[in-house]
Amino acid sequence: MPKVAATTAEKIKRPHLEIKGDTLLSGEIKISGAKNSALVLMTASLLTDEVIILKNIPDLTDISGMEEILVSMGVTVRRTANEISLQGANLNHSNPPYELVNGLRASFFCIGPLLGRLGQAKIPLPGGCRIGARPVIEHIKGLKALGALVNVEHGVVKASVPGISRRLNGAQVVLDCPSVGATETVLMAAVLANGITTIENAAQEPEVQDLAAMLNVMGARVKGAGGPKITIEGVDRLNGCNYTVIPDRIEAGTFLIAAAITRSSITVAPVMPEHLSVVLKKLKDCGCSLEIKKNTIKIIPGEICSVDITTQPFPGFPTDLQAPFMALLTTAKGTSVVTEKIYENRMQHVAELQRMGASIRLQGSTAVIEGVPQLSAAPVTGGDLRSTAAMVLASLAARGTSQVEGLQHLDRGYSSIETKLNNVGAHILRNE
Ligand code: EPZ
């Protein structure tokens, strides 16, 4: 009896999703609150001593990680199913411990509000990750422009505001690149600064708009969020608020692609179609019909054909949907070209898709994909959040049953992805 290859046998023991292929989906998938909005809105609780209540919070490991970081600095947190209340009345210090910060890049969002509120902050440098170096140069340049003294030593960013008032001063900030994190960091530092701040070449993502909207509910004076120039008139203090997080456009896009790759028709809701314009256009261009209403989208795939994708800052094609969309293009008729322009190393899913029979040629961050009739199931591993999601989508449509590892990545950005997919006809088993 031939010995089962050790690697295959071992793989099955590690936590993975077992996904039956040739799936047909139908029904409606409920979209959760946006991870990349909820995380930054949580840090805004550091800007006031009053209570912030956030509704539509997704149930994700990243949210729990942020909760721990805020609690470690003295924020009182109470969490129910999809609501969280936070009160930063008794901040006891401004340097969250390395072991909490290291796993969560979004923890760096704390530096802006801590400087604005306390006039000091000490945050470990967020490490790079599998998709790139992810520097925070623009964040630091922006804080310095507002008058903060910032230096980096031993992997820790130490920042303080000089002067008796310890209050930042409004300034003109021009970003070298429309960084989401840098825009949000400067925005949160500027709302309590003395005077006017402008941020030019600002990121325009919906999550930036959501943060500005919430800050204004708290009493801030922010104009122009969602465009390339944001103007902030500093105020002396901010109030608490009750705010609902926008739906997650990346989760919604992922499930629309799940329908396209399995040639199924499903509806996703709630969703804000204007947050996905370019993605919806690409789905239409590759052969899908869409019924778009105020906050629902129904997709009806036709014959899927090739399209070219180049990722760009919003409103361009979102980098976070590059890997899921590439999974779709592996079985599209014709040749597609996918170019990743935002991150220097966000093509790890290519090798795994090739293991499933995809025909892809990779040159740097450009992939040339020749569509094949169907992928074949295999044990595959996702290297980051969105490449693991791409493996799930590919497995839904592949011939046979796949094992997808990388659940520690997946659970950061998709709350119970297998439950949502099984509710519309998938056959996914989680083996922890
Ligand atoms: C946010 O990351 C998101 N994360 C990312 O989502 C998303 O991919 C990214 O924005 C782009 O949309 C959160 O909001 C928590 P950036 P962020 O600063 O703020 C370069 C996911 O899968 N850059 O806009 O870190 C940087 O190297 C995650 O949900 C500089 O060059 O993104 C990168 O190539 C992944 N210098 C590009 O900009 C800087 O000082 C985008 O980075 C800052 C950034």
Q: For the segment 50-80, what is each residue's pLDDT rounded down to a tens digit?
A: 999 999 999 999 999 999 999 999 999 999 9
Cβ of residue 135 lying under 6 Å from some atom of ligand 1: yes
Testing ligand 1's pocket by substitution, the residue of 136, 180, 386 carrying the most ligand atoms inside 8 A of its CB is 180
Q: Of the residues 110, 129, 286, 305, which is catalytic?
A: 129
Cβ of residue 39 lying under 6 Å from some atom of ligand 1: yes
CB 113 within 8 A of CB 129: no
Testing ligand 1's pocket by substitution, the residue of 141, 177, 275 carrying the most ligand atoms inside 8 A of its CB is 177
pTM: 0.96
pLDDT at position 97 is 82
Alpha-carbon distances, residue 32 vs 106, 117, 139, 180, 415 (angstroms): 19, 31, 28, 21, 8
350-383: b or e for each residue (b if 16 or more CB lie within 10 Å)?
A: bebbbbbbbebeeeebebebbbbeebebbbbbbb
Q: 3-class SS at 175?
A: coil
Residue reference for tokens 């465009």: 227
Å from CA of 230 to ligand 1 middle: 18
Instruction: Report the distance separating Cα 146 and Cα 395, nearest Å.
Output: 49
pLDDT at position 98 is 83
DSSP H or E run through 138: helix 137-145
Which two tokens mark 281? 């256009």
Ligand 1 atom with the shortest distance to the CA of 207: 14
Instruction: Report the distance separating Cα 13 and Cα 371, nearest Å.
Output: 32
Average the pLDDT over 18-33 and give the result. Answer: 98
Confidence of residue 179 (pLDDT cuts 50, 70, 90): very high
286 is catalytic: no
Domains along the sequence of the chain with CATH: 8-32+247-431 (3.65.10.10), 35-244 (3.65.10.10)
DSSP H or E run through 289: strand 288-292
Alpha-carbon distances, residue 74 vs 63, 174, 335 (angstroms): 17, 33, 54
DSSP H or E run through 102: none
Å from CA of 179 to ligand 1 middle: 6
CB 152 within 8 A of CB 125: yes
